[in-house]
A and B are shown apart, each in its own frame.
Chain A
């Protein structure tokens, strides 16, 4: 058994999707089969990586045997694992769904031929980003993620999708540019881009602050934190449903992961509580504004997209909350939130896609009197939304519970109010969708749905719903090599 634990699983999790992307590109007719096989294989490799870290602690691989600062080093810690797990889980289900989504007459063969290589490429880039241990690799992988995402967004076709993709591309490029400038400043000053080495070199001076400000700004734009979220709703709602699911569940989390690494690993001596509060306030703004906008949307996919804007706000509460006693709780909370939100949000987008697929549009009013298979889809939507609202026993509940505890332990009660309002508003916009479905309108036409459009959303929403009951192991894994106090200090008492 031990050779199993010796494999460089994280490396395989990068190579497999990239190789499959190449295969799908060269043999377009076999693309769905290659993609699905790769999805299963990647899922298995990520499981391997999880077992490895669980059994042996954090992993380091130097590519080609070159150590930092010269070579490329891969590191797999709790944070990496959480993103890897999210991509593996969501990726597998979305691939399964895409089999059905891109097979009918609505979406032609050429879309299928573009989708698979691009998606597998995106997958590889996400996994590479998760385990990158230096600033420059993080930049490269982030660029790859953005480019693949933009191309996938444009797959929606039509003028609206193209303009959304264009907007996405431009804001992505501006974000990258800011980030790259910051990296250049740091490299110029310290001569290295390795995160671990930089952590020892960086001191609180003007240059570090400037670099931090540039990099953080770039990443905020890419993560679509309010008020820099303008590009997200059109891009996420115009893309085909499987792509929307991937963008909302995974892609925005990649730049967030870099942000976490910078804030807690490289610049802990530079950041001040004031900066943390600023990000926290923007996060609070995102929660309230995003939820409010979601409440006003007439189209289901836009509603879900604005819900993403809101949910991203919770991720930024870690910056003001992670202090003193509450450090571990807040950190664990947001990192677990990444996984919980990924499952719930992807499931919601998949349901929206199924409804779009059957109706040809996604107006919420179409759901009036939804019975039959469509009614079941609305129930699936509600199940997935449980984690978004943050009700038990979902993963979202556990994540928010940790954040609530952190806010109380740190005495920052105003974030309690924001989180409470956020939950209520989320409940309100989900309720709007549900209300239509319960309205008693006699429907004569109940569309039949292919099974690939029915089961994947249900599977994912059940995972999201029950994740809270299984939170114990992931939460322990999150703390592997985490840049917070090593001992598990979740028992917060004054």
Chain B
């Protein structure tokens, strides 16, 4: 066991161990629990920082544990892992602060934070997985650890959402397992290799490989909520706001999108996937999802549901970028993994603030809320404008590179798609902003929790969205600064497409 392997294991356990300890804590040990949570998140962030610098200077991190003869648990850190792990470590920290504020006084907090930490550990494992089997292991762990969070409220509605969630994700998991086992039999060890490793197989196997690609996309498409496998996501909205934030920005949908990127880039390889002709159907599916999600979002009055359909649409951008073969599209898709996370978590934090402080759940109840909660709505506005793609916000950068990528690959329909999608985004976000800032409050707020009229809401609830909203702007303005997500993704693209 060398130091590199230890670093990877330490990053995994920095959220796993606090989670396990928290399960054993009595309900009333609030301070210790909060301390453990924050300490874990802080340690993880620092360790990820060390890993980041190491990978940046070209160091290889790997860990291997033989599970069966010919089957290893492989952890490794490459540029793509780092993209995901930095995002998750950072947003975990922010979300933990938010969740502590959000759940103040709520029951079953030990259970909640325990599973919350497990969920983050699983996400970390997904990011660090060095082969497809290890990826599957953590992917399933994510499914299980998220379920208690979705049903946390314990209402019949929450339980129904949980059942739907598990029905979708477990079925997806089984399909993923079968496809992985099949690939394993065909191709031997499934270690991720930049540029893929299937191209050398016998041409007689190509139809099987196409079929397996389809199975993999179905399996991963469930979590990344590709139409028509998306319906669990809007239902899962009954979960508490920090969970929705985590689900939509980092954990579940991103795990699916990240998996699709891994399969296309590091299993099949972009060139080989193009040769098999499997990328165009995937791009078409992503395009349908983008339009469908936006159209459905238009008709939701429930704020969180509208945001959920928006997620369906926005995550498909990542898939679209991956499916269009070309360095610029790759940059646009992968950078959106980070950008969408920042924007969506801001929006969900704000929605949670509205619900928690004033009891607002519907857009029709939001008239004039901009005057009551100016900071929250300012953050919301930045996130929403980013989603629409207004420069200089991060959403613009993603869309710009996606459009360029489409043109570069000779697929000009992508530009049309992006224009349509942007119009739709504007159509479902601008009315919210208009109501909130310029609408007149007709009746009192549905359920005001905070007795104090002069305070907007508690600090723990206000700071996280302000931080992420600031990043939505800063990452956009300083997109070409060194070590920005955009720069990092350009590094990945350069490695994938090679000289």
A residues lining the B interface (CB < 8 Å): 369, 371, 375, 379, 386, 391-393, 397-398, 401-402, 404-405, 408-409, 416, 420, 423-424, 427-428, 431, 434-435, 438-441, 468-469, 471-472, 475-476, 488, 490-494
Q: Which residues of chain A are within 8 angstroms of B156 by Cβ–Cβ distance?
A: 439
B203 CB within 8 Å of chain A: no
CB closest chain-A residue, reference B183: A408
Q: Give 5 closest A-B pairs by Cβ, nearest first.
A: A440-B154, A392-B137, A404-B181, A490-B69, A408-B185
Q: Which residues of chain B are within 8 angstroms of A438 by Cβ–Cβ distance?
A: 148, 151-152, 154, 158-159, 162
B residues lining the A interface (CB < 8 Å): 23, 65-71, 73, 108, 111, 136-137, 140-141, 143-144, 147-148, 151-156, 158-159, 162-163, 166-167, 170-171, 173-175, 177-178, 181-182, 184-186, 188
**Shortest CB–CB separation between residue A354 and chain B, in angstroms?**
18
Known A408-B182, A409-B185, A424-B170; contact A398-B140, beta-carbon cutoff 8 A: no
Q: Which residues of chain A are within 8 angstroms of B68 by Cβ–Cβ distance?
A: 398, 401-402, 471-472, 475, 490
Known A404-B178, A408-B181; contact A490-B70, beta-carbon cutoff 8 A: yes
Docked CA distance A361–B155 (Å): 25
Partner of B155, one of A386, A392, A408, A440: A440
- Return 29 A-B CB contacts under 8 Å, by A number: A375-B111, A386-B144, A392-B137, A392-B141, A393-B137, A393-B141, A397-B137, A401-B68, A405-B181, A420-B175, A428-B167, A431-B163, A434-B147, A435-B162, A435-B163, A438-B151, A438-B152, A438-B154, A438-B162, A439-B156, A439-B159, A469-B65, A469-B67, A472-B66, A488-B69, A490-B68, A491-B69, A493-B186, A494-B185
**Shortest CB–CB separation between residue B177 and chain A, in angstroms?**
7
**Shortest CB–CB separation between residue A465 and chain B, in angstroms?**
11
Known A392-B136, A491-B188, A493-B185; contact A398-B151, beta-carbon cutoff 8 A: no
Known A423-B174, A491-B188; contact A435-B69, beta-carbon cutoff 8 A: no
Docked CA distance A375–B115 (Å): 14
Q: Which residues of chain A are within 8 angstroms of B144 by Cβ–Cβ distance?
A: 386, 391
Q: Tell whether, in the assembled complex, residue B184 and residue A405 are in contact, meaning their CB atoms are under 8 Å apart.
A: yes
Q: Tell whether, in the assembled complex, residue B67 and residue A431 are in contact, meaning their CB atoms are under 8 Å apart.
A: no
**Shortest CB–CB separation between residue A282 and chain B, in angstroms?**
23
Q: Which residues of chain B are within 8 angstroms of A420 by Cβ–Cβ distance?
A: 174-175, 177-178
Docked CA distance A47–B239 (Å): 48
Q: Tell whether, in the assembled complex, residue A475 and residue B154 are in contact, meaning their CB atoms are under 8 Å apart.
A: no
CB closest chain-B residue, reference A369: B154
Partner of A427, one of B65, B108, B166, B177: B166
Docked CA distance A436–B228 (Å): 30
Helix, strand, loop or mixed for chain A's interface? helix
Docked CA distance A493–B136 (Å): 21
Q: Which residues of chain B are within 8 angstroms of A439 by Cβ–Cβ distance?
A: 154, 156, 159
Docked CA distance A434–B162 (Å): 11
Docked CA distance A288–B167 (Å): 17
**Shortest CB–CB separation between residue A103 and chain B, in angstroms?**
26
Helix, strand, loop or mixed for chain B's interface? helix
Docked CA distance A344–B211 (Å): 35
Q: Which residues of chain B are within 8 angstroms of A416 by Cβ–Cβ distance?
A: 178
**Shortest CB–CB separation between residue A485 and chain B, in angstroms?**
13
Q: Which residues of chain B are within 8 angstroms of A440 by Cβ–Cβ distance?
A: 153-155
Docked CA distance A435–B148 (Å): 9
Q: Tell whether, in the assembled complex, residue A492 and residue B154 are in contact, meaning their CB atoms are under 8 Å apart.
A: no
Docked CA distance A210–B274 (Å): 58
CB closest chain-B residue, reference A442: B107
Q: Which residues of chain B are within 8 angstroms of A401 by Cβ–Cβ distance?
A: 68, 71, 177, 181
Q: Tell whether, in the assembled complex, residue A431 and residue B166 are in contact, meaning their CB atoms are under 8 Å apart.
A: yes
**Shortest CB–CB separation between residue B22 and chain A, in angstroms?**
13
**Shortest CB–CB separation between residue A476 and chain B, in angstroms?**
7
Besides A490-B69, A490-B71, 14 other CB < 8 A contacts?
A391-B141, A391-B144, A392-B136, A392-B140, A392-B141, A393-B137, A398-B68, A420-B175, A431-B166, A435-B159, A438-B159, A439-B154, A441-B154, A494-B186
CB closest chain-B residue, reference A393: B137
Docked CA distance A420–B73 (Å): 22
**Shortest CB–CB separation between residue B175 and chain A, in angstroms?**
8
Docked CA distance A409–B159 (Å): 40
Q: Tell whether, in the assembled complex, residue B162 and residue A427 are in contact, meaning their CB atoms are under 8 Å apart.
A: no
Q: Which residues of chain A are within 8 angstroms of B137 by Cβ–Cβ distance?
A: 392-393, 397
Docked CA distance A221–B152 (Å): 44
CB closest chain-B residue, reference A328: B69
**Shortest CB–CB separation between residue B124 and chain A, in angstroms?**
15
Docked CA distance A277–B187 (Å): 28
**Shortest CB–CB separation between residue B399 and chain A, in angstroms?**
37
Q: Which residues of chain A are within 8 angstroms of B23 by Cβ–Cβ distance?
A: 379
CB closest chain-A residue, reference B138: A392
Q: Which residues of chain B are within 8 angstroms of A386 by Cβ–Cβ distance?
A: 144
Docked CA distance A475–B69 (Å): 8
Q: Which residues of chain A are within 8 angstroms of B175 by Cβ–Cβ distance?
A: 420
Docked CA distance A468–B177 (Å): 15
Docked CA distance A392–B173 (Å): 11
Q: Tell whether, in the assembled complex, residue B162 and residue A398 are in contact, meaning their CB atoms are under 8 Å apart.
A: no
Docked CA distance A420–B188 (Å): 22
Q: Tell whether, in the assembled complex, residue B178 and residue A391 are in contact, meaning their CB atoms are under 8 Å apart.
A: no
Q: Which residues of chain B are within 8 angstroms of A434 by Cβ–Cβ distance?
A: 147
Docked CA distance A471–B70 (Å): 12
Docked CA distance A362–B70 (Å): 43
Docked CA distance A7–B366 (Å): 80
**Shortest CB–CB separation between residue B69 and chain A, in angstroms?**
4
CB closest chain-B residue, reference A411: B185
CB closest chain-A residue, reference B153: A440
**Shortest CB–CB separation between residue A266 and chain B, in angstroms?**
27
Docked CA distance A491–B154 (Å): 46
Q: Which residues of chain A are within 8 angstroms of B67 by Cβ–Cβ distance?
A: 398, 468-469, 471-472
Q: Which residues of chain B are within 8 angstroms of A375 by Cβ–Cβ distance?
A: 111
**Shortest CB–CB separation between residue B349 and chain A, in angstroms?**
25
Known A420-B178, A472-B68, A488-B69; contact A405-B185, beta-carbon cutoff 8 A: yes
Docked CA distance A463–B243 (Å): 30
**Shortest CB–CB separation between residue A455 and chain B, in angstroms?**
13
Q: Which residues of chain A are within 8 angstroms of B65 by Cβ–Cβ distance?
A: 469
Q: Which residues of chain B are within 8 angstroms of A392 by Cβ–Cβ distance?
A: 136-137, 140-141
Q: Which residues of chain A are within 8 angstroms of B182 by Cβ–Cβ distance?
A: 408
Q: Which residues of chain A are within 8 angstroms of B136 by Cβ–Cβ distance?
A: 392
Docked CA distance A391–B155 (Å): 27
Q: Tell whether, in the assembled complex, residue A469 and residue B155 are in contact, meaning their CB atoms are under 8 Å apart.
A: no
**Shortest CB–CB separation between residue B138 and chain A, in angstroms?**
8
Q: Which residues of chain A are within 8 angstroms of B73 by Cβ–Cβ distance?
A: 469
Docked CA distance A424–B69 (Å): 27
**Shortest CB–CB separation between residue B309 and chain A, in angstroms?**
26
Docked CA distance A230–B68 (Å): 36
CB closest chain-B residue, reference A431: B166
**Shortest CB–CB separation between residue A374 and chain B, in angstroms?**
13
Most chain B CB within a 10 A radius of its CB, from A397, A434, A440, A493: A440
Docked CA distance A424–B158 (Å): 21
**Shortest CB–CB separation between residue B23 and chain A, in angstroms?**
8
**Shortest CB–CB separation between residue B106 and chain A, in angstroms?**
11
CB closest chain-B residue, reference A430: B166
Docked CA distance A409–B119 (Å): 34
CB closest chain-A residue, reference B173: A391
Docked CA distance A439–B70 (Å): 43
Q: Which residues of chain B are within 8 angstroms of A492 by Cβ–Cβ distance?
A: 185
CB closest chain-B residue, reference A427: B170
Docked CA distance A398–B71 (Å): 10
Q: Which residues of chain B are within 8 angstroms of A409 by Cβ–Cβ distance?
A: 185
Docked CA distance A402–B156 (Å): 39
**Shortest CB–CB separation between residue A262 and chain B, in angstroms?**
27
Q: Tell whether, in the assembled complex, residue B70 and residue A371 are in contact, meaning their CB atoms are under 8 Å apart.
A: no
